[in-house]
C-alpha cells in the first residue's frame, strides 16, 4: 500500500495531466456537434468490428456442431423426397388423396477412414449395429453415391467404395434412359467406365448419369457423374464410355447411409420368383 501511495505521489503531475486532457476532450465533444458525431461514428465502427470479430470467432468454433445438425436435417429431408417413397392411388375413388409409403430412410454418418488411391478402396464410418446399420446398405454424399456397407461391428461399419474392382453400380443415362454398369479401372479416382451401353443408343458428351433404381440399395435418380469421353470401335456392339464422378472422393467427411425399409420384403419376392 505504501508503494502504491509513493507511486501516485511521484507521478501526480502525469495523472493530473491525463485528467485535464480528459476533461478538455469531453468539453470539446459536448460543445461541438461535428467532433461529437465524428467520435460517435469512430466509436461505433470500432465496436462493430469487435462484435463482428467476436461473432465470427464464435461461429467458427461452433462449425462442428452446426455441421452435425445440418447433416441430420439433410438426412431427414432426403427421407421425405418423392424418390424415397412408394406412391399409390385408390383407383376406385378418384377423390382419395395419394397414399405415401416410405421406401428409403437416411442416417447421417462421419467418415473415420477413407482411401481412394488404392486399387480396392474402403471407408470406415462411425455407425454400427447399435445404430441399425446392416450390410448391403448404400452410402451416399450430398453430391452422389459413395459405396455399399460391407461389414458391421457394434459401433462402426466398413464400406466398399465405388473405387473398387468389385463395385458395379447400375447407372442410367438421363437423356435416353439406357442403363449400363459402372466399372472403376483404378488409377484416376475422378473417372470411371460405363459398360453395356449398346452402339445404337444416342450418347453425347456431357450426358448425366444417375442411379437407375433397379437395385434395392440406392433410390433412383441419385447423381453418379457426367460422360466426358465416348469411343466406339468398328464391329463393337457396345460403347467404350468414360465419365467423371460427381463426387470428389478426396474431400469426403460426412455421408448418408441409405436404408431400404422394404428390402427384406423385396428379397422374399425375388426368392419366390426364382423358385418358378
Of 61, 87, 102, at which residue does a domain stop?
A: 61
Residue-wise pLDDT tens digits, 17-70: 777 777 776 666 666 665 556 655 556 556 545 655 655 665 555 556 556 556
Tell whether 116 and 190 lie within a shared domain. yes
Confidence class for position 189, pLDDT limits 50, 70, 90? very high
Residue bearing the bigger pLDDT, 61 or 169 = 169
Q: 229 in a domain, yes or no? A: yes
CB 71: neighbour CB atoms within 10 A?
20
Of 61, 81, 97, at which residue does a domain stop?
A: 61
Tell whether 183 and 125 lie within a shared domain. yes
Residues in the chain, total: 276
d(CA 190, CA 168): 16
Q: 138 in a domain, yes or no? A: yes
d(CA 216, CA 250): 27
Tell whether 115 and 27 lie within a shared domain. no
**Any idea which residue has 434412359 for its cell?**
177
Tell whether 199 and 268 lie within a shared domain. yes
The count of structural domains within the chain is 2
Tell whether 151 and 248 lie within a shared domain. yes
Q: 93 in a domain, yes or no? A: no
Q: Which domain holds residue 30?
A: 2-61
User: pLDDT at position 253, please?
Assistant: 85
Q: 95 in a domain, yes or no? A: no
Tell whether 18 and 132 lie within a shared domain. no
Tell whether 244 and 130 lie within a shared domain. yes
Using the predicted structure, report yes or no on whether residue 160 has a pLDDT greater than 80: yes
Long-range contacts of the stretch 13-20 (C-beta < 8 A, 24+): none
Tell whether 53 and 164 lie within a shared domain. no
Tell whether 13 and 135 lie within a shared domain. no
Residue-wise pLDDT tens digits, 64-96: 655 655 665 565 555 555 554 544 343 333 333
User: pLDDT at position 98, please?
Assistant: 42
Using the predicted structure, report yes or no on whether residue 140 has a pLDDT greater than 60: yes
Tell whether 155 and 216 lie within a shared domain. yes
Q: 42 in a domain, yes or no? A: yes
Q: CATH no. for residue 118?
A: 2.40.10.340
Residue-wise pLDDT tens digits, 217-258: 888 889 999 999 999 888 889 999 999 999 999 988 889 999
Q: 94 in a domain, yes or no? A: no
Residue-wise pLDDT tens digits, 7-17: 667 777 777 77
Ranges 126-140, 154-168, 212-226: which has the least confidence: 212-226
Using the predicted structure, report yes or no on whether residue 275 has a pLDDT greater than 70: no
Q: 7 in a domain, yes or no? A: yes
Tell whether 212 and 139 lie within a shared domain. yes
CB 155: neighbour CB atoms within 10 A?
13
Instruction: Work out the burial of residue 146: count CB atoms within 10 Å of its CB; fewer than 13 is exposed, 13-18 middle, 19 or more buried.
Output: buried
Q: 48 in a domain, yes or no? A: yes
Q: Residues 103, 138: contact at Cβ < 8 Å? A: no
pTM of the model: 0.64
Tell whether 37 and 115 lie within a shared domain. no
Amino acid at each position: 500500500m505504501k508503494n502504491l501511495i509513493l507511486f501516485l505521489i511521484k507521478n501526480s503531475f502525469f495523472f493530473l495531466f491525463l485528467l485535464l486532457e480528459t476533461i478538455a476532450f469531453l468539453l470539446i465533444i459536448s460543445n461541438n456537434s461535428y467532433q461529437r458525431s465524428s467520435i460517435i461514428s469512430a466509436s461505433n465502427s470500432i465496436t462493430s468490428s469487435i462484435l463482428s470479430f467476436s461473432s465470427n470467432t464464435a461461429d467458427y468454433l461452433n462449425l462442428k456442431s452446426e455441421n452435425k445438425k445440418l447433416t441430420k436435417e439433410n438426412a431427414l429431408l432426403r427421407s421425405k423426397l418423392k424418390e424415397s417413397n412408394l406412391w399409390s392411388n385408390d383407383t376406385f375413388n378418384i377423390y382419395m388423396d395419394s397414399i405415401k409409403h416410405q421406401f428409403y430412410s437416411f442416417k447421417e454418418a462421419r467418415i473415420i477412414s477413407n482411401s481412394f488411391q488404392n486399387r480396392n478402396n474402403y471407408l470406415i464410418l462411425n455407425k454400427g449395429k447399435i445404430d441399425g446399420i446392416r450390410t448391403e446398405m448404400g452410402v451416399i454424399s450430398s453430391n452422389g453415391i459413395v459405396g455399399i456397407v460391407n461389414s458391421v461391428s457394434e459401433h462402426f461399419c466398413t464400406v466398399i467404395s465405388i473405387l473398387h474392382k468389385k463395385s458395379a453400380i447400375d447407372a442410367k443415362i438421363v437423356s435416353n434412359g439406357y442403363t449400363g454398369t459402372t466399372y472403376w479401372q483404378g488409377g484416376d479416382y475422378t473417372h470411371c467406365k460405363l459398360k453395356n451401353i449398346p452402339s445404337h443408343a444416342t450418347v453425347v458428351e456431357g450426358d448425366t448419369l444417375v442411379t437407375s433404381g433397379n437395385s434395392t440399395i440406392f433410390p433412383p435418380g441419385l447423381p453418379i457423374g457426367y460422360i466426358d469421353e465416348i469411343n466406339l470401335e468398328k464391329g463393337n456392339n457396345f460403347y467404350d464410355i468414360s465419365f467423371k464422378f460427381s463426387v470428389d472422393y478426396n474431400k469426403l467427411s460426412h455421408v448418408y447411409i441409405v436404408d431400404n425399409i422394404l428390402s427384406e420384403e423385396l428379397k422374399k419376392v425375388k426368392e419366390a420368383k426364382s423358385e418358378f
